[in-house]
Each structure stands twice: as structure tokens, then as C-alpha cells.
């Protein structure tokens, strides 16, 4: 059942036994925190990959309501989906290939990143086709070794951009780059990339096309290094309340609130004898006669199989039970496609239908997405972005 102020997307079966509850108020509050930290720089909320799994459009709207003035996505299709949903904020898409729907992007008023000469040519053609200037952000390779215009191409690209700006075909809205090691602020590459970025800005100025906005900082750089803020910051993970620097500070220490809670209702509680193998491969065996609970979420839903519990180590955490009886247990045995098993212990009081939380904001000591990332040997980005499409998303706090 949906209560007022709530929406459900994905599988709409009200009996679906799991859901991701997304607190839009947490997204607004995280943005407010980032706006405060960025002190003067504009905030572009990065909502690619379906809003890091939280839902593209609801996340975008919540971020704008919280004070972001820009949205950023990787794929052109994500930008067009935002426009189709009526989101008319300033919007940048950066994973543009020469065959991207550039004319549609220009027509929709989407800013387009240019990271290669073929894309630059294609954007100029698209602007001509639409008879309106394309707003471009030139991405420069400052050391990430990924996308971005190389320094040997830069003089030529800048000369071409300057000519097109004079002709009214392009506007150089931004000059930007992306950091390789922002989660390790003392890493020498951070300083080296900043110097290389400053040099690219100087080259653009000398070519007669100073960018309106310079941007370099993701969440980690926004939260740890004011000298990387420039005119605009591009946080993604922090918008959703997770720490981009878990080795340095937790989400709570950074003043962030995780926006997603993943929960399920126990499908079955049953007793197994001592020494009974659990789940595929029998990687876990019961130490005593015990009760096990079946949780109806598996790797098809994004529960990482690397967080299986058994001979390779303890599994991912789940919070079972209510109030004072609540406890955090570990997944027993392999994560299956649709389900995982929890060893509840011989005296368990839980029953089928009881709620278990895989991760949430951790305020009650329960597990967080970061805990799952640790259990799976990955990063929290992967935990939320991999949430399966069949898991219904329920939105709280829409009535800001
Ligand atoms: C170009 C670019 N900018 C910003 C971000 C946001 O990064 P984060 O989620 O670490 O804040 C990303 C995400 O990977 C990105 O690819």
C-alpha cells in the first residue's frame, strides 16, 4: 500500500517481499551540506546510473530542491530521459561519442562534453543542424588516463573552439577534468592533476576562449580539498549519503545521511539439524541445531555474490528483529540469484514475514551499504548502483 507522499516504482506488486526505501529528504539534506562545503562554487548533482540506483528522476528533483543548480549524467540517453520527464535544470552529459544524438541534445538545451576531435566536429555539425549554439564543456586529460582531450590535441581543439565561438556555433561553457585518486587526498597525482588542469585553463585563455566554468571535483575532492572546488563541483556518491573516503571518514562524520534502505520480509523460517550444509556448494554448515531464515533477495537484485558467507569468510550483514531484540547477523552460505540464508540461531523468535534490513543509514547500529562493500571487497558505489530493477523503490519525503 502507498501512503500519502509515497511513490512506488519498479515491480508494483504490493506483495513483493523486498523494497528499497529512498529518503528524498536525506538527498536534500546531503545537497545542502555539499552546497555549504563548496562555499561559492555551484553544485552539479551527479545522478547517472539511475541516480546511483536511487532512481534518476526522483533523485534529480530532490537534488535540485536541496540547492543543486546543475545535474550531471554520463550517458546522453540519461540526459534526454531527464528532459522527457520535464526536468529543465542545467544539465551536462559527458560520455559523448561522435554518433551520440548530439542534435537532440543541443535541441534539448543539454550541455555536451567534448573529449576528442571527432566529437568536437560532430557537435559543430549538430549545432549547425539545429541552428543554435551548442554549449560545450571541454574535458582535458590531466592524468586519469581515461576520457579527455590529450595535451597534444589541445591547441588545435582550442583554436577550433575559439573559431566556432566567434561564429556563434559553440559556447565554451566549461573546461573540466576528473581525478584519479581523489579518495586519497595526499596522493601526489591529485596535485599533479590540479597543476595540469590550471595549465589547460591558461591555454584556453590564451587561445581567446576562457571557459565560464572550471570543474574538477567529485564527492571526495569536494569534501576534502577546497582548492579543487573551482567554479563548480560534481559530487555523486555524497549526494546519496555515502562516504567517498571510507578509509578517512564515515558518512556520519562527513555530515551525510545514506538515502537508501534495502529491506525484505523473511520468506521462511525453519529448523536445520547440526552439521547441515546451507545453500549452493555447502560453503557454510550449521554448527548446531538452528533456525534459518530465507531472505528473498539475491544477486539478481544486486546482493553481491562476493559477500557470501562460509569457508571464505563471514558473509554480508543483515539486521533482524525489532527494537531491543534487534541484532546484526551474517549471510550464511552462498548468495543465490533470488535469495540468501541467515542463520538465526536456535532460540530465534523471528517468523516468516518479519522485516530484515540489509543496509540503511546505520543510525541504529545496523549495517550500511559501506558494510556490504567491505564484505564484498568492493566500494559502496557498486552496492547501490547494482540494485536490481525488479526491486521496487519506495520514495519518502517527496512533499518537500
Ligand atoms: C566525470 C565524473 N564526475 C563526477 C562523478 C561523481 O563522482 P563521485 O560519485 O565520486 O562523487 C563521476 C562519477 O564517477 C564522474 O564520472
Q: Is 291 a catalytic residue?
A: no
Which of 113, 218, 245, 382 is the pocket-test mutation for ligand 1 (most atoms within 8 Å of CB)?
218
- Cα distance between residue 328 and residue 306, in whole Å: 19
pLDDT of residue 323: 85
Look up the CATH architecture of domain 39-240: Alpha-Beta Barrel (3.20)
Residue 237 Cβ contacting ligand 1 at under 6 Å: yes
* Percent of the chain predicted with pLDDT > 90: 92
Q: 298-307 pLDDT, tens per residue?
A: 999 999 999 9
- Helix or strand run (H / E) with residue 194: helix 188-206
Which candidate, 111, 139, 134, places its Cα nearest to that of 123? Answer: 134
DSSP 8-state code for residue 147: S
The CATH topology of domain 260-396 is Lyase, Ornithine Decarboxylase; Chain A, domain 1 (2.40.37)
5 pLDDT band, cuts 50/70/90, is: low
Spacing, Cα 46 to ligand 1 middle (Å): 7
Question: How is the chain split into domains, by residue range?
Answer: 39-240, 260-396
Q: How far is 280 from 283, CA to CA, in rounded Å?
A: 7
Task: Convert the pLDDT of each residue in 231-259 to its tens digit.
Answer: 999 999 999 999 999 999 999 999 999 99
pLDDT tens digits, one per residue of 218-227: 999 999 999 9
Residue 334, number of CB atoms within 10 A of its CB:
23
The Cα 356–Cα 263 span in angstroms is: 6
Distance 214 CA to ligand 1 centre (A): 15
Amino acid at each position: 500500500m502507498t501512503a500519502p507522499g509515497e511513490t512506488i516504482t519498479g515491480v508494483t506488486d504490493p506483495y513483493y517481499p523486498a523494497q528499497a526505501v529512498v529518503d528524498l529528504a536525506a538527498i536534500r539534506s546531503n545537497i545542502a551540506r555539499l552546497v555549504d562545503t563548496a562555499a561559492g562554487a555551484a553544485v552539479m548533482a551527479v545522478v547517472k546510473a539511475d541516480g546511483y540506483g536511487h532512481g534518476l528522476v526522483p533523485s534529480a528533483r530532490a537534488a535540485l530542491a536541496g540547492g543543486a543548480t546543475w545535474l550531471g549524467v554520463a550517458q546522453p540517453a540519461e540526459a534526454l530521459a531527464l528532459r522527457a520527464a520535464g526536468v529543465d535544470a542545467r544539465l551536462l552529459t559527458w560520455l559523448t561519442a561522435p554518433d551520440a544524438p548530439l542534435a537532440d541534445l543541443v535541441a534539448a538545451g543539454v550541455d555536451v562534453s567534448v573529449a576528442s576531435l571527432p566529437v568536437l566536429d560532430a557537435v559543430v555539425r549538430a549545432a549547425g543542424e539545429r541552428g543554435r549554439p551548442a554549449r560545450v564543456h571541454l574535458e582535458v586529460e590531466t592524468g586519469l588516463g581515461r576520457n579527455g582531450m590529450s595535451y597534444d590535441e589541445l591547441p588545435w581543439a582550442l583554436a577550433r573552439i575559439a573559431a566556432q565561438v566567434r561564429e556563434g556555433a559553440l559556447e565554451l561553457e566549461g573546461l573540466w577534468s576528473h581525478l584519479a585518486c581523489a579518495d586519497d587526498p595526499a596522493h601526489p597525482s591529485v596535485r599533479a592533476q590540479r597543476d595540469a588542469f590550471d595549465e589547460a585553463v591558461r591555454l584556453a585563455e590564451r587561445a581567446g576562449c576562457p571557459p565560464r566554468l572550471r570543474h574538477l571535483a567529485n564527492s571526495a575532492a569536494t569534501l576534502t580539498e577546497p582548492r579543487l572546488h573551482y567554479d563548480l563541483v560534481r559530487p555523486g556518491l555524497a549526494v546519496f549519503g555515502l562516504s567517498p573516503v571510507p578509509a578517512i571518514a564515515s558518512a556520519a562524520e562527513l555530515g551525510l545521511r545514506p538515502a537508501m534502505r534495502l529491506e525484505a520480509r523473511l520468506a521462511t523460517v525453519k529448523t536445520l539439524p547440526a552439521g547441515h550444509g546451507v545453500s549452493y556448494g555447502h560453503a557454510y554448515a550449521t554448527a548446531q541445531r538452528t533456525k534459518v531464515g530465507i531472505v528473498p533477495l539475491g544477486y539478481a537484485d544486486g546482493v553481491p555474490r562476493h559477500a557470501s558467507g562460509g569457508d571464505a569468510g563471514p558473509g554480508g550483514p543483515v539486521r533482524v528483529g525489532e527494537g531491543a531484540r534487534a541484532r546484526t547477523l551474517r549471510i550464511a552460505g552462498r548468495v543465490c540469484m533470488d535469495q540468501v540464508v541467515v542463520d538465526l540461531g536456535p532460540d530465534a523468535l523471528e517468523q516468516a514475514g518479519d522485516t530484515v534490513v540489509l543496509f540503511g543509514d546505520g543510525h541504529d547500529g545496523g549495517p550500511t551499504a559501506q558494510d556490504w562493500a567491505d564484505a564484498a571487497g568492493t566500494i559502496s558505489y557498486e552496492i547501490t548502483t547494482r540494485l536490481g530493477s525488479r526491486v521496487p523503490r519506495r520514495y519518502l519525503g517527496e512533499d518537500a
